[in-house]
Each structure stands twice: as structure tokens, then as C-alpha cells.
A and B are shown apart, each in its own frame.
Chain A
Amino acid sequence: AQTVTQSQPEMSVQEAETVTLSCTYDTSESDYYLFWYKQPPSRQMILVIRQEAYKQQNATENRFSVNFQKAAKSFSLKISDSQLGDAAMYFCAYRSAGKSTFGDGTTLTVKP
């Protein structure tokens, strides 16, 4: 079975600084996709960024980028120029054959 591990229950960052959230996963499959979702206090789950496992190039979406290390099964999220609105719980997710597996989440606090 696939597992997703987020080893940092909580992280904090100063506004305008950079923070990296960690995620590792375990799978024996070769075709899969990885996602980071954000859940603000409103509890609405929002997609932040996705990565195709077959692509070596790391995905980037504005201030959000990933460091995808397929051999190490690592998928970290980097948030640059952190803003107060980035404060939320972040979930790493793995998806293959339709089904998704989510990590336990990392709560990010942004300090003004």
C-alpha cells in the first residue's frame, strides 16, 4: 500500500521569507502523480501544485515550487516570499489508479 509521510506537524516562517515543507512517500508503482493541497481556516481544500512522476523538471506555480526527488521518493514544497495568506494546513498527496493517499498535514504559521 502507498503511504505518504509529512514529518513536520508544524512549521513557522517570517513574512517574506522562504519555507520548505517536507513529504516522502512509498510506492512500488512507476506511474503516479503528486500534489500539494492547502487547507486554510475556512477548511476548503485547494490545489497548490502538482507533479507528474515521469517528469524530471520540478513544477512551479508562482511563489510555490517543488523539489521532486523520484529515487528518494521525496516531494517537498517551497514557498517563497511567504505571505500572511499562506497560513494554512498543507497536505501532500499521492495519486495512482484513481485513488489518492494523503499525508497527515503540516500546519504553517506565517509571522508578520
Chain B
Amino acid sequence: DAGVIQSPRHEVTEMGQEVTLRCKPISGHDYLFWYRQTMMRGLELLIYFNNNVPIDDSGMPEDRFSAKMPNASFSTLKIQPSEPRDSAVYFCASSYTSSSYEQYFGPGTRLTVT
């Protein structure tokens, strides 16, 4: 398996623009997680899905953030409108159902909002 795939790897955009981050989880995994990593706040869980259904979105910063998982092999995280404070590395991770399994992380998307 190719692992968790994220695109784009780098994104630079201007404040106010819409940003869409994409993730393809490992085939067969039924959990998908979106994290944000910054120096100030560390690694934050934004939202996670089980079998394509959002389970906990309490980490989503505000209404400007939205995430979808239309099928088992694809998820998006959208920021509209983007702000400079959204600059961070965004990770997608997937895993099997049992908590005994580790999460497999994608390479991350480095987002810069100017």
C-alpha cells in the first residue's frame, strides 16, 4: 500500500481565499483523522470519522473549517475564508477500528496564508 496520501504537499494562499486539503486513507482503514500542527499549539485533533461518518468535530476551530468524507477512500478539509493564523501543517491519519492499532499518518500539507 502507498500509505496515506495527502495533497497538496504545500499550499500558499492569500487571506480570504478558499483552501481545500485532500486525503486518501489506507485501503481497509475505517477511521480517518485530521490534525493540525503548529509550534504554539502542538498537534491538535480537528475531527475524525468512522466509516465515513463524522464522530467528533469538537476540535474544529470555527465555522470557517469544514470536513467531509464522501466515501471510504477520500476526505477533504476546507477552510473558507482562510486567515494567516490558519498557517500550519495539516496531517491526515487513518487506522483500523480497534484502538490497539496505531494511526498511519500522511506526509502532511504545509499551509501558508499570507
Contact = CB atoms under 8 A, between A and B. Distances in A.
B56 A102 contact: no
Interface stretch (A60-68, A74-82, A90-98): A90-98
B102 A47 contact: yes
Contacts, number: 47
Contact of A100 (B50, B97, B103, B108): B103
Determine chain A's interface SS by DSSP, over half rule: strand
Contacts of A102: 42-43, 45
A6 to B, nearest CB: 10
Nearest to A94: B99
B8 to A, nearest CB: 15
B34 interface: no
Contact of A45 (B42, B45, B99, B105): B105
Nearest to A46: B105
Nearest to A105: B42
A13 B103 CA distance: 28
A65 B31 CA distance: 27
Interface in B77-106: 89, 91, 93, 97, 99-100, 102-103, 105
A97 B99 contact: yes
A104 B43 CA distance: 7
A43 B37 CA distance: 10
A100 B33 contact: yes
A104 B41 CA distance: 8
A28 interface: no
A86 interface: no
B103 to A, nearest CB: 6
A96 B42 contact: no
Contacts of A100: 33, 45, 103
Interface of B: 31, 33, 42-43, 45, 48, 50, 55-56, 89, 91, 93, 97, 99-100, 102-103, 105, 107-108
Interface of A: 31-33, 35, 37, 43-45, 47, 50, 52, 91, 95-105
